[in-house]
Amino acid sequence: MVKNIQLRVPLKEEEQTGILAQKVSRHLGIPSTDFAYKVLRKSIDARKSTIYFNYKLEVYINEPAPVTEKYTFAYQNVSNAKPIHIIGFGPAGMWAALRCLELGFKPIVIERGKDVRERRRDLKAINRDHLVDPDSNYCFGEGGAGTYSDGKLYTRSLKRGDVRRVFESLVHHGATDQILIDAHPHIGTNKLPKIVQNIRETILQHGGEVHFNTKVTDFIIHGNRLKSIILNNSTEVSTNRTILATGHSARDIFHLLNEKRVLLKAKSFAMGVRVEHPQHIIDSVQYHCKSTRNHLLPAAAYSLVHQVKERGVYSFCMCPGGFIVPAATAPGEVVVNGMSPSKRNNLYANSGIVVEINAEKDLGNYEKYGVFKALQYQKDLERLAFTAGGRTQVAPAQRLTDFVEGKVSNDLNATSYQPGLQSAPLHSLLPKLIGGRLRQGFKEFGKKMKGYYTKEANIVGVESRTSSPVSIPRNERLEHPEIKGLFPCGEGGGYAGGIISAAMDGERCAEAAASAL
């Protein structure tokens, strides 16, 4: 007999040997020798002064717990199979390629950036020397933006595909199986590169191809069909089916498609700042404690949202025990993002705090840019941040309380952001559309989380790459409605918002492209 049960374990009991078995035994009224169990889900409930660990268990009464996993990955040798071209090797591109192997098609991956090992040098150049390589940075390269931007696996896109399957695939390629049970699973920036490398090796071992330092510079379209792609301005490659998974920051691809008169649309997105607190402040607020957190508790996270003048103001990509990193993809712009290592043991907590931008209602002054009005708005604020920071990768910043009160900060708090911070009047530099709502939002967040609103926190600008400001339409077959053979995919097309949703969309696009063949 199999039963699903839920248990609550107080923090003070969590480390006791065999505590789960004891509680299951009491709950079912049978001795522990008569059952076995598996943990399906684990979460922390810290809403009250007593902290609990919540467990969802599958209990097997008078029978052993199964040892085999539900998922297997039957990757085929596709050396001589029909090809499907995949542009971009972020989560959407990676899982599109893996799905191609299962379906018996040969993925040929084209990635403008470098492999994960070579990428490190360019990330070091951004942090230390303020040099931005447009093709190799925190957004571009093997694994995409997620590789060096935390590895959070939480998604609300539960109806878009098989979430568990993607998690099992990650474990298959080296991730800890803890992600299968954590309520808010996380891998960590330090662990992701090896997993990404393992995925690449799976693709190569089964006959697929992955080409780095290879940039798509033109699309050859005849009779409303994508016939071939030009690589590095020289090599023409014929293609029958192409999955476009270039991510939300590949602006050159958007412009190239527009030049080829491929239908695009302006898309609503969100922009704001990144706020950074000492981690101990967030811990004390969330865990109701004044001293250092219990070693059983992870660095505390938070999720905040408030409506201000019909627009949402909300936390985005919250990174407990993490770092703020420079995420610019071209010289002359400053963009910030966040990441956490697997242990989440850094001294600071950071999160994007962003404002919804309605592309149809909020950007009247940008109508002349057509489908690129939201993109141009995004660019302008990134250039403003570059200028306000001193025209390097130093970022403009302000104490949180000074920003809300409209005062210039005479000094700033210590930070995890390696290029450094420059005091700047962000309260007056940001447009009212964003700045006014942020100021009100921070006040409300301070009411919801006592201690959150503090002069010990910095805000750092700008957090602008939350999602793509351009969408690439597709029909019910996931194919562009006007260009046959082109399958817009993932965050770059406007169809995902994170590692897991992008991976699921990659699988779906691979299935759609394969069915057409």
CATH no. for residue 27?
Answer: 3.30.70.2700
- Asked if residue 103 belongs to a domain, the reply is yes
- Asked if residue 478 belongs to a domain, the reply is yes
Rounded to whole angstroms, the Cα distance separating 145 from 337 reads 10
pLDDT of 106 above 90: yes
Query: pLDDT-based confidence at 155, cuts 50/70/90?
Result: low
Sequence length of the chain is 517
CA torsion sign, 126 to 131 to 136 to 137?
A: positive
pLDDT given for residue 151 in this prediction: 61
Using alpha carbons, list the distances in angstroms from residue 498 to 93, 127, 220, 247, 269: 13, 24, 30, 10, 14
Strand 216-222 with 225-231, pairing = antiparallel
Rounded to whole angstroms, the Cα distance separating 71 from 172 reads 10
User: Is residue 250 located within the same domain as residue 104?
Assistant: yes
pLDDT given for residue 466 in this prediction: 94
Claim: this prediction has a pTM higher than 0.85: yes
- Asked if residue 67 belongs to a domain, the reply is no
- Asked if residue 500 belongs to a domain, the reply is yes
Q: Residue 337 belongs to what domain range?
A: 266-463
Query: pLDDT-based confidence at 162, cuts 50/70/90?
Result: confident
Per residue in 424-474, pLDDT (tens digit) is 999 999 999 999 999 999 999 999 999 999 999 999 999 999 999 999 999
Angle subtended at Cα 383 by Cα 397 and Cα 316, rounded to the nearest 5 degrees: 55
Mean pLDDT on 267-274 = 97
Q: How many domains does the chain have?
A: 3
DSSP 349: E
User: Is residue 17 located within the same domain as residue 141?
Assistant: no
- Asked if residue 72 belongs to a domain, the reply is no
pLDDT given for residue 294 in this prediction: 79
H or E stretch covering 257: helix 251-259
Mean pLDDT on 67-92 = 91
Place of tokens 């400053």: 334
pLDDT of 158 above 60: no
Rounded to whole angstroms, the Cα distance separating 168 from 68 reads 12
The strand ranges marked E within 232-378 are 235-238, 242-244, 265-266, 269-278, 305-308, 311-319, 323-326, 336-339, 348-357
Residues ≥6 apart with Cβ < 8 Å to 172? 71, 73
Cα 349 to the chain's mean position, in Å? 17
User: Is residue 209 located within the same domain as residue 287?
Assistant: no
Query: Which residue in 385, 457, 453 sits closest to 419, CA to CA?
Result: 385
Query: pLDDT-based confidence at 73, cuts 50/70/90?
Result: very high
pLDDT over 70 percentage in the chain: 97
Name the domain boundary from 425, 446, 463. 463
pLDDT given for residue 146 in this prediction: 79
User: Is residue 236 located within the same domain as residue 358?
Assistant: no
- Asked if residue 364 belongs to a domain, the reply is yes
Using alpha carbons, list the distances in angstroms from residue 109 to 96, 187, 243, 407: 10, 24, 9, 50
Rounded to whole angstroms, the Cα distance separating 214 from 230 reads 10
Structural tokens at position 238: 């014929």
pLDDT given for residue 489 in this prediction: 98
Per residue in 335-387, pLDDT (tens digit) is 999 999 888 999 999 999 999 999 999 999 999 999 999 999 999 999 999 99
317 and 349 Cβ atoms separated by less than 8 Å = no
DSSP 228: E
pLDDT of 152 above 80: no
pLDDT of 389 above 90: yes
User: Is residue 422 located within the same domain as residue 455?
Assistant: yes
Q: What are phi and psi of 202, to 5 degrees?
A: -60, -45
- Asked if residue 426 belongs to a domain, the reply is yes
User: Is residue 235 located within the same domain as residue 102?
Assistant: yes
Query: Which residue in 439, 418, 458, 450 sits closest to 282, CA to CA?
Result: 450
pLDDT given for residue 290 in this prediction: 73
pLDDT given for residue 68 in this prediction: 66
Query: pLDDT-based confidence at 260, cuts 50/70/90?
Result: very high
The strand ranges marked E within 279-322 are 305-308, 311-319
pLDDT given for residue 159 in this prediction: 60
Query: pLDDT-based confidence at 184, cuts 50/70/90?
Result: confident
* For residue 462, cis peptide bond before it (omega within 30 degrees of 0): yes
Rounded to whole angstroms, the Cα distance separating 424 from 410 reads 10
pLDDT of 189 above 70: yes
Average pLDDT across the chain, whole number:
94
Rounded to whole angstroms, the Cα distance separating 105 from 98 reads 10
User: Is residue 426 located within the same domain as residue 491?
Assistant: no
User: Is residue 133 located within the same domain as residue 25?
Assistant: no
User: Is residue 319 located within the same domain as residue 443?
Assistant: yes
User: Is residue 225 located within the same domain as residue 284?
Assistant: no
User: Is residue 417 located within the same domain as residue 345?
Assistant: yes
User: Is residue 366 located within the same domain as residue 396?
Assistant: yes
- Asked if residue 69 belongs to a domain, the reply is no
Return the CATH number at 510: 3.50.50.60
